[in-house]
Structure 1
Amino acid sequence: MKLAVVGGGSTYTPELIDGFARLRDVLPLEELVLIDPAADRLELVGGLARRIFAKQGHPGRVSWTDDVDTGVDGADAVLLQLRVGGQAARNMDETWPLECGCVGQETTGAGGLAKALRTVPVVLDIAERVRRRNPNAWIIDFTNPVGIVTRALLTAGHKAVGLCNVAIGFQRKFAKLLDVTPEEVALDHVGLNHLTWERGVRVGGEDVLPKLLSEHGDAIAADLHMPRSLVDRLGVVPSYYLRYFYQHDEVVRELKTKPSRAAQVAEMEKQLLEMYGDPALDEKPELLSKRGGAFYSEAAVALTSSLLRDTGDVQVVNTLNNGTLPFLPDDAVIEVPATVDARGTHPLPVPALEPLYSGLIANVTGYEHLALEAALKGGADRVFEALLAHPLIGQIEYAQKLTDDLIAHNREHLTWA
């Protein structure tokens, strides 16, 4: 079994490598190829990857290359975790929208649209290369914004599944609070990528969410950075990304008073790369836990194993709606539990959603449709329409200013600008 990781030079990658090494019985890799245009980073990350495999007794071969065609050749699955423009572009995504009083974030709002516009054409080019080299390979997308990128891949007919670590993060946290194993916890997780709610938490078939909120509501709310009163009032656990919607203006005020997350991560990455260059380091460093992406490796291993080993496990994935949420078009990409096997993903039935959730989901789905149109076809008018449709923007003056700023800050990545 061969797996290729595009964006393999990311400082994230040792988290993934550690999971492959620990969970080799779940996903018995024979070959792992890291692909990245940044040769200096790739050398450091690749070297550490080999040492991690060696320390944990993994027999698989680790190699790296800057050539996508060579790297994906013969791969059974290709994992995408790239960041077009690097942390510098992310820093812009997180700052210039604040000038309009709009949230600056890499997956939602104007910053999220900018990332989608930079990313979709690159991902589709890589996917075409995979299809030419190896048409049966699965593409697993962890590249943000996952919902829009996965929709682009599926619309183009690729064998693709989107992956996010939010659901597995909740599963692990809830299991710890309940003092059970993660495998015993099943989530009634529903929504779009980074726009989801846990409507139920099941252990042994029983919904223990009311017990969780009653006994651990303070801890859960603190983790979300939302008021306990809101969580109690909703009776569900919203994703922490919902804070950008539920407390937008408060978040904007906070973001204006501190360095961007991109600036923090960039500094962290410098330290991590220095550590990776140490030939004595043979495990992921503790600092990596602050980089983000908790439990990413476990989620990636589980999903890849289900696809390649035809296990029929239930995973939370980003996949085509196809009637699962009847108020959305079939080609929308939703994030829900699904049975995963060698044929792909098969969403489980979702009980009818309350308007409080379905309304926002429908609104953001409309934005994502327009965002994909802008990413595929370009043009300032399409960018403006997507921003005008976004529930966090929605005003002519803001949409026009953000359109101009987005294009100005991303011109080098937009072939049509």
Structure 2
Amino acid sequence: MKLAVVGGGSTYTPELIDGFARLRDTLPIEELVLVDPAADRLELVGGLARRIFAKQDHAGRITTTTDVDAGVADADAVLLQLRVGGQAARERDETWPLECGCVGQETTGAGGLAKALRTVPVVLDIAERVRRANPDAWIIDFTNPVGIVTRALLQAGHKAVGLCNVAIGFQRKFARLLDVNPSEVHLDHVGLNHLTWELGVRLGGPDGENVLPHLLAEHGEAIAADLRMDRRIVDRLGVVPSYYLRYFYAHDEVVRELGTKPSRAAEVAAMEKELLAMYGDPALDEKPELLAKRGGAFYSEAAVDLAASLLGDGGSPVQVVNTYNRGTLPFLPDDAVIEVQARVGRDGAAPLPVPALDPLYAGLIANVTAYEDLALDAALRGGRDRVFKALLAHPLIGQFDYAEGLTDRLIAHNREHLAWA
């Protein structure tokens, strides 16, 4: 089995490598190729990756290349974890929206649209290269904004599934609070990427007992603190929203907060510099503790589970993924990409049925889906007017003057990445 990781020079990658090494019985990789245009980072990450495999007695071969075509040749699956424009572009995504009084974040709002515009064309080019190399290869997308990117891939006819670590993070957290094995915890996880709610927490399987009321009664304060939300929100909803819902439920508070501290991008850039220095130490043969602060917790375990299910019989039969709606949420088009529990196998992902949603959730999901439609159109066809319409449609923006100002700023800060600008 051969896997390729495009964006393999990311400081995330040792987390992925550690999972591949630990879970080799689930996903028996014979060859792993790390692909990245940044040769200097690739050398550091690749060296550490080989040492991690060696320490854990993994027999797989790890190679590195800056050539996408060479890297994906004959690959059975390709994982995408790109950041077009690097942390510098992320820094801009998180700052210029604040000038208009809107949240600055790299996956939602105006910053999320900027990232989509930069990313979709690059991902589609890579996907075409994968298809030419092996039309049967699966593409696993971890590149944000995952919902929009996955929809672009699926609409172009690629064998693709989107992956996010939010659900597995909640699963692990709830398992600790309940003192059970994570495999016993199943989530009624519903929504769009980075716009989800845990409507139930079930023990033993998708049809098991719902223990969410118990969790909220016994651990509501801790859960709310992890979300950085007022406990009253969680108690009133009676469900657990993704921490990304804070940008919607406490938008003005978040904007004020972001204006008083360094951006997350600046924090991550400093962290990455320190991590890369660690990766260059030939004595280091395991992922450093600092990596846990970088983000992406449990990404490796989710990726292994998904790849194992798509390529064979080693993964869990039911997983939370991003895939076509296909009638699961009847108020959305069939080709909308949703994030829900799905049955995953060699033929891809088939969403499990979802109960009728409260309008409180369905309304916001429908609104953001409409924005994602417009965002993908702007990413594929370009043009100032398409960018403006996507921004105006986003529920975190929604005002004409805001959308006008944000459109000008988005184009000015991303011109080098926009072929039409």
What range is the shorter-chain TM-score in?
Answer: over 0.9
For 1:359, which of 356, 360, 363 is the aligned residue?
363
Match of 2:403 in 1: 399
Partner of 1:335: 339
SS at the partner of 2:75?
Answer: coil
From 204, 218, 224, give the equivalent of 1:221: 224
The CA distance in 1 between the partners of 2:232 and 2:365, in whole Å, is: 23
Distance in 1 between the 2:177 and 2:365 partners? 29
- Listed as ranges, the matches of 1:241-320 within 5 Å are 241-310=244-313, 313-320=317-324
* Corresponding residue number in structure 2 for 1:124: 124
The aligned residue for residue 7 of structure 1 is 7
1:19-38 residue CA offsets vs partner (Å, 9 max, x unmatched): 00000000000000000000
Q: CA deviation at 1:387?
A: 0.2
Do the aligned partners of 1:393 and 1:399 also contact (CA within 8 Å) in 2? yes
Distance 1:221 1:263 in 2: 26
The structural deviation recorded for 1:230 is 1.1
If the length of structure 1 is used for normalisation, what is the TM-score? Answer: 1.00
CA distance in 1, matches of 2:9, 2:233: 40
Counterpart position of 2:176: 176
Q: How does 1:127-146 map to 2 (within 5 A)?
A: 127-146=127-146
Residue identity in the other structure for 2:107 = T
- Distance in 1 (CA, whole Å) between partners of 2:118 and 2:320 is 26
SS at match of 1:198: strand
Task: State the Cα distance separating 1:414 from its structure 2 match.
Answer: 0.2
* 2:168 is the counterpart of 1:164: no
* In structure 2, distance between residues paired with 1:43 and 1:151: 32
Specify the alignment match of 2:381 in structure 1. Answer: 377
Partner of 1:209: 212
Would the alpha carbon gap of residues 310 and 25 (structure 1) be closer, same or farther in structure 2, given more than 3 Å must change?
A: closer
SS of the aligned residue for 2:331 comes to coil
* Aligned counterpart, 1:188: 188
Are residue 368 (structure 1) and residue 372 (structure 2) matched?
yes
1:309-337 CA-partner distances (Å, limit 9, x unpaired): 14561010000001000000011000000
Gaps of 5+ in 2: none
Structure 2 distance, partners of 1:391, 1:229, is 22
TM-score (norm 2): 0.99
Identity, % of aligned positions: 84
Q: Is the 8 A contact 1:319 1:333 kept in 2?
A: yes
2:35 counterpart of 1:35: yes
1:230 counterpart (217, 229, 233)? 233
Q: Secondary structure, in 3 states, of the residue corresponding to 1:316?
A: strand
Q: Which residue is equivalent to 1:91?
A: 91
Gap runs ≥5 in structure 1: none
Q: In the comparison of the two structures, how many residue pairs are matched? A: 417
Structure 1 stretches of 4+ moved >4 Å: none
- The corresponding residue for 1:26 is 26
Rounded Cα–Cα distance in structure 1 between residues aligned with 2:259 and 2:299: 29
Question: What SS is found at the alignment partner of 2:3?
Answer: strand
Task: Report deviation, 1:229.
Answer: 1.1
